A and B are shown apart, each in its own frame.
Chain A
Amino acid sequence: SQQGEEDPQALSIQEGENATMNCSYKTSINNLQWYRQNSGRGLVHLILIRSNEREKHSGRLRVTLDTSKKSSSLLITASRAADTASYFCATALVYGNNRLAFGKGNQVVVIP
């Protein structure tokens, strides 16, 4: 089954810097969502971008979607220590279907 895949590298940055992570997928999607997870806890929804959208902003988050390349990126600007977490992209294939396919996650460490 289709699955989002983030760049596998862990990211370690200084507080105040920007963090960028990427996600690629294999088939057509209805929407793509980004989630954050702290230390094996529940997932926190960050942002949803639909297949007909190219860019979306939410606070310090910026998500882009390139359906021609089947890829998405998440940018966190002016990072804070509290942004230290694992970030997952998840794709929803079909409208009317809540099944999400998750990538393997990208560990981000923000150093104070």
Chain B
Amino acid sequence: KAGVTQTPRYLIKTRGQQVTLSCSPISGHRSVSWYQQTPGQGLQFLFEYFSETQRNKGNFPGRFSGRQFSNSRSEMNVSTLELGDSALYLCASSLLVSTDTQYFGPGTRLTVL
């Protein structure tokens, strides 16, 4: 089975721009979560989607949004980029709603200049 895939792997944007990141979960997995990783704040939960519905949201401003499609693929969007949004964005998928093993993708490295 293919693992979690994320595109693009690397991205460079400038302040004020917006960006969309994509995540394809493992086939059959219906839950997709997003995390932001920075040297200063570590790994922080952004949001989780299950069956196209956002089930949980972390403490991030409204500039961060996401969605999930009927095929479980997910996208996250960051509008009006700030320098502090530079981070590794990780997507994780799991089979069910319940707390079980989450499988992470390789991440998207976003650099905001």
Residues of A that sit less than 8 Å from B by CB:
1, 30-31, 33, 35, 40-45, 48, 88, 90, 92, 94-105
Contact = CB atoms under 8 A, between A and B. Distances in A.
A4 to B, nearest CB: 10
| Main DSSP-derived SS at the B contact region | strand
A31 B104 CA distance: 18
B107 A41 contact: yes
Given A97-B56, A98-B94, A45 B33 contact: no
Interface residues of B, number: 30
Interface string B82-113: 00000010101010011111111111010000
Given A44-B104, A97-B48, 15 more contacts: A40-B107, A42-B4, A42-B105, A43-B92, A43-B104, A45-B102, A45-B104, A98-B31, A98-B55, A98-B98, A98-B99, A98-B102, A99-B56, A102-B42, A102-B44
A83 B111 CA distance: 28
